[in-house]
Amino acid sequence: MNDLPAESYRILVVDDSHSILEIVRVTLALQGFQVMTAESGERALEIMENEGLPHLGIFDINMPLGIDGLELCERVLQFSDLPIIMLTAVDGSSTIVEAIDRFAEDYMTKPVRTGELLARVRRVLRTIGYFAYPLTQFVEVDENLSVNFATLTAVVQGEEVNLTPTEAKLLYILMRQKGKVVATEFILRRLWPSEDDFADEDRLRVYVHRLRSKIERKKSGIRYIFSKRRKGYVFLPEDD
């Protein structure tokens, strides 16, 4: 996991079964992970809005009351690129195929096997990488910029700015790899994972331009997003 200790990572577990929630929570906590839990999709969204995003989500697919796992994924991935592991009672169903194709990095079938759970959690965290900033309600980049992804809000030099879901997700993707060039192909795949979505470099450039116009201030010399010709984009605050 990028040589970072488990306590560096915060994981949100969502399941309407209290017993499964406890098994997953205790298993992760014993390894040192910070664990938040929610027994509904609605509560999970509240946590993310009030306490900030986690580094990883573990979501039950079948929650019959209120927001189910797939809808929760859809909502969360509108404003972030949160890596997600799905929990399911059924293996190989069309629902699982949809979840993997559109939302999740991985999935596990119930009953939860603790060794397998830890292995899958570590693999996903190692693959996705560590978010470059502390994940609080407002993620503070520097004295000029902070972002609340769940509420689609940025504060730029004290001024509140509204972001669209795509702009927020794009910003999340770039901030997660602060200081590193993020390949155009990778950004396109994470922003528009569905084959039904029309995604190309021109469309991405439009969103980069819109995002820059909201969070950068040219007159003050404040820039965050830099393009690397034929490679991609890099998020680089001036202090870095």
CATH of residue 160: 1.10.10.10
- Asked which of 128, 157, 183 is the last residue of a domain, the reply is 128
Percent of the chain with pLDDT over 90: 70
Domains contained in the chain, number? 2
Give the residue ranges of DSSP H helices in 8-134: 18-30, 41-51, 69-79, 94-102, 114-128
Do 10 and 34 contact (CB within 8 A), yes or no? Answer: yes
Same domain, 170 and 120: no
Same domain, 93 and 180: no
Same domain, 159 and 220: yes
Judge whether residue 47 has pLDDT over 90. yes
Position 165 scores a pLDDT of 96
Residue 134 lies in a domain: no
Q: How confident is the model at residue 239 (pLDDT cuts 50, 70, 90)?
A: low
Task: Give me the amino acid identity at 224.
Answer: Y
Same domain, 144 and 230: yes
Give tens-digit pLDDT for 94-125.
767 777 777 889 989 889 999 999 999 999 99
Give tens-digit pLDDT for 130-174.
898 989 999 999 999 999 999 999 999 999 999 999 999 999 999
Residue 240 lies in a domain: no
Judge whether residue 29 has pLDDT over 90. yes
Same domain, 177 and 152: yes
Phi-psi region at 104: left, alpha or beta (left = phi > 0; alpha = psi -120 to 50): beta
Q: pTM of this prediction?
A: 0.89
Position 214 scores a pLDDT of 97
Judge whether residue 2 has pLDDT over 90. no
Domain that holds residue 208: 139-235
Max Cα distance, the chain (Å): 57
Judge whether residue 1 has pLDDT over 70. no
Same domain, 93 and 41: yes
Give tens-digit pLDDT for 56-104.
999 998 887 889 888 999 999 999 999 999 998 876 677 677 777 778 8
Same domain, 105 and 151: no
Residue 210 lies in a domain: yes
Same domain, 198 and 148: yes
The domain that holds 37 is classified in CATH as 3.40.50.2300
Is the torsion defined by CA of 164, 121, 124, 177 positive or negative?
positive
Residue 1 lies in a domain: no
- Asked which of 128, 155, 175 is the last residue of a domain, the reply is 128
**Average pLDDT of the chain, as a whole number:** 90
